[in-house]
Amino acid sequence: MEQQLEKVLSDIATQQDTVGVLLANRQGLCLGVKGNINPNVSGVGTAISEQVAKLEPTNNVPAIVCLYSGTKRCVIQKDGEITGIIYKQATTATAVTSVGN
């Protein structure tokens, strides 16, 4: 399992504009991290994904949360027992679009 986890982290970390990626278990404990992301956000990210899932409890599709702050985006998604937290560098077009909405 550890090799699969490392492969997933590496695959996500090499995506365009990705600054850091973290995977957490259902208790919010950090399972692995790559890049520039604080492992301590694992609990907060897991809690956010749990609360968002309550908005549509009968929906079988995992919810995706996207938070914007300055020049960064934080994307959070829970899939089964694992929550993924990805920090991305916001492009100029993304930052302008999000401010206009």
Torsional sign, CA 94, 69, 36, 30: negative
DSSP string, 19-54: EEEEEE-TTS-EEEEEES--GGGHHHHHHHHHHHHT
For the chain, the domain total comes to 1
pLDDT at 89: 94
pTM for the whole thing? 0.84
pLDDT digits (tens, 9 = 90+) for 28-69: 999 999 999 999 999 999 999 999 989 998 988 888 999 998
Q: How does residue 1 score in pLDDT terms, banded at 50, 70 and 90?
A: low
The neighbouring-strand residues paired with 67 are: 74
In angstroms, the Cα distances linking 1 to 8, 15, 45 are 11, 22, 22
pLDDT at 87: 96
- Residue 75's domain spans which residues? 2-100
pLDDT digits (tens, 9 = 90+) for 19-29: 999 999 999 99
pLDDT digits (tens, 9 = 90+) for 5-23: 899 999 999 999 999 999 9
pLDDT at 70: 87
Question: Residue 50 belongs to a domain with what CATH number?
Answer: 3.30.450.30
3-state secondary structure at position 2: helix
pLDDT at 17: 94
